[in-house]
Amino acid sequence: EAGVVQSPRYKIIEKKQPVAFWCNPISGHNTLYWYRQNLGQGPELLIRYENEEAVDDSQLPKDRFSAERLKGVDSTLKIQPAELGDSAVYLCASSSGGRYYNEQFFGPGTRLTVL
Amino acid sequence: SQKIEQNSEALNIQEGKTATLTCNYTNYSPAYLQWYRQDPGRGPVFLLLIRENEKEKRKERLKVTFDTTLKQSLFHITASQPADSATYLCALDEGSSNTGKLIFGQGTTLQVKP
């Protein structure tokens, strides 16, 4: 069974430029998460989807971040414009069933460097 | 809001010994608590889940305990091996009932020396 796929693995951009990350979750997983992980810290949730619906985006900086999950499968996270403080690893995760005891499966992440 | 504290200092132990990692939380007891392993350059990998009504859970060389009185979980790796070297993350539900939203500790790095 294929795991969570993310691309690109690495991205270096200059500040004020746009950037997008793509995620393909495990087949059949209805719940998809985007996390941001700063160096030496644990992942922090940005947004959670149940199928196509964003059920928790309270920690997504909506002035510059946007996300979509069309058709309830793949998802894209976008930053426009990027700031220096956005440098981090962006992780996508998926889980199979609702919100109970949700073992999450993570992708390898995209390491973003903003210069 | 709920906060999680894990030892920020790396834990260095000798191969064959038992590693014990600590996870403390500050507020209400969560419905469950999870432990993940993260290797450099990779995403976290789920290891174990323990529910609030469980005191202990085992999986091969791993053991997790959950003490709601102390607001603490301990994660043990027995007969540790160099391949166990990684960062271990504690995670729990943000709410006292299932919200489905996990919050993570900052992780503790374990180094097992041969």
Range of the domain at B86: 4-113
Phi and psi at residue A70, to the nearest 5°: -70, 140
> Which CATH number goes with the domain that contains B87?
2.60.40.10
B100/A44 touch (CB, cutoff 8 Å), yes or no: no
Taking residues B6-31, report their average pLDDT.
91
Residue A85 pLDDT class (50, 70, 90 cuts): very high
Whether residue A3 is predicted with pLDDT greater than 80 in this model: the reply is yes
- DSSP E strands: which ranges in A1-115? 5-7, 10-13, 19-24, 31-37, 44-50, 53-56, 65-68, 75-79, 88-95, 105-106, 110-114
CB contact under 8 A, B100 and A100: yes
pLDDT at B98: 67
Task: Pick the residue of B104, B106, B108, B109 with the most A CBs within 10 A to test the interface with A by mutation.
Answer: B104
- Structure tokens given for B69: 């009185």
pLDDT at A99 over 60: no
Pick the residue from chain A with its C-alpha nearest to B35: A103
Interface probe for B, chosen from A21, A92, A103 (most Cβ of B below 10 Å), is A103
Res. A2 pLDDT band, cuts 50 70 90? confident
What domains, with CATH codes, occur in chain A?
5-11+19-99 (2.60.40.10)
Q: State yes or no: pLDDT of B97 exceeds 60.
A: yes
Mean pLDDT of A67-94: 96
What mean pLDDT comes out for the span A66-95?
Answer: 95
Test A48 with B101 for CB contact under 8 angstroms: yes
Average pLDDT value over all residues in chain B: 92
Report the number of distinct structural domains present in chain B.
Answer: 1
The pLDDT > 90 percentage for chain B reads 73
Using CB atoms, pick whichever of B101, B106, B107 lies closest to residue A56: B101
Q: Is B104 in Cβ contact with A42 (below 8 Å)?
A: yes
The CA radius of gyration of chain A, in Å to the nearest whole number, is 13
The pLDDT tens digits for A34-54 are: 999 999 999 999 999 999 999
B47-80: pLDDT as tens digits: 999 988 898 999 999 999 999 899 999 999 999 9
For chains A and B, CB pairs below 8 A equal: 61
